[in-house]
Amino acid sequence: MAQRVLIIDDEWTIQLALKARLIAHGYAVELAEDGPAGIAAAKREPPDAILLDLRMPEMDGLEVTQHLKAAPETADIPVIMLTANVQDTVRQQALNAGACDFLTKPYDPAAVLDAIRTATSGVTRAAD
């Protein structure tokens, strides 16, 4: 059965691009357009990995991660942060919050696929 990836991003163009790429590589994809919807989707049917945008209205990616990590049913889902923000402090905050990887936009498709592969294989990638 195909692995499921939940994409939480308020930008529908990014959602579509990621979805097209992931489906082409054999993943099943679910979309959520903001934090609360994403958390709800993750709880309803826990995915194998979550691609999470950092900068979103209402609830940002850090808060979403904290919520996910705080709830036992979602705590073990690997979260890959995808953001246009490249500040080192933010990167550190994301990793502190429990994200397993941190990728910047515009992303390298190969890096995204690699990150998902690593996350779903159960190996936590060390922060570099």
Partner 1 sequence: MQSNGCAVVFGARPVAGLGRDLSGTGDGADGKQVEIWADSRVPIKRGSIGGDKRHRLESLPMRAPEHPREAERLAAVDEIGLVGGLPDELQQAAVHLASQICGTPIAAVSLVDRDRQWFSAIEGLDCRETPRDVAFCAHTILGDSPLVVSDATQDSRFSDNALVTGDPGIRFYAGIPLKTLDDPAVGSLCVIDSSPREISAGQLQSLQTLADLVAAQLEMHRYNHRITRRSEENRSLLEQITKIASQVPGVIYQFRTCPDGTSSFPYASDRIREIYRVSPEEVEHDASAVLAVLHPDDREGVETSIEESRRTLRPWKHEYRVRFDDGSEEWLLGNAIPQREADGSTLWHGFIQKITDRKVVEAALLDSQRIIRRQNTELTKMADRAHQVVDDVSHEFRTPLAVIKEFASIISDGIAGPVSDDQATYLQIMSGAVVDLNHMVEDLLDSSKLRAGILRVDRRSVTIQEIVDEGRPALASKASSRSITIEERLGDGLPCVFADSEKVRRVISNLMTNAIKFSPEGGAIVLSATAGPGAGEATISVTDNGPGLSAEDIDQLFGRFKQTSTARSIKAKGFGLGLSIAQELAWLNLGRLSVQSVKGEGATFSFTLPTNDPAAILSHYFDSIQSGEVAGTRFALLRALATGGPRADEAGAFLASIVYPSDLVLPGPRDELGQAWYVLGCTDSAERWGGKLRAACRQRSASGRDDLRPISIGLEGQWDRVERFDDAMRETCRVIAKENCHGTARADH
Binding site for partner 1 (CB under 8 A): 11, 13-14, 17-18, 20-21, 24, 55, 84-89, 92, 95-96, 104-107, 109
Q: How far is the CB of 2 from partner 1 (least distance, A)?
A: 16
Q: How far is the CB of 66 from partner 1 (least distance, A)?
A: 14
In this structure, are residues 73 and 45 in contact, taking their beta carbons and an 8 Å threshold?
A: no
Residues listed for the chain: 128
Q: How far is the CB of 45 from partner 1 (least distance, A)?
A: 26
The residue (of 22 and 68) whose beta carbon lies closer to partner 1 is 22
State the DSSP string of 22-76.
HHHTT-EEEEESSHHHHHHHHHHS--SEEEEES--SSS-HHHHHHHHHHSTTTTT
The residue (of 4 and 105) whose beta carbon lies closer to partner 1 is 105
The residue (of 83 and 121) whose beta carbon lies closer to partner 1 is 83
Q: How far is the CB of 109 from partner 1 (least distance, A)?
A: 6
CA distance 75 to 81: 15
Question: Could you tell me how many helices (H) and strands (E) the chain has, helices first?
Answer: 5, 5
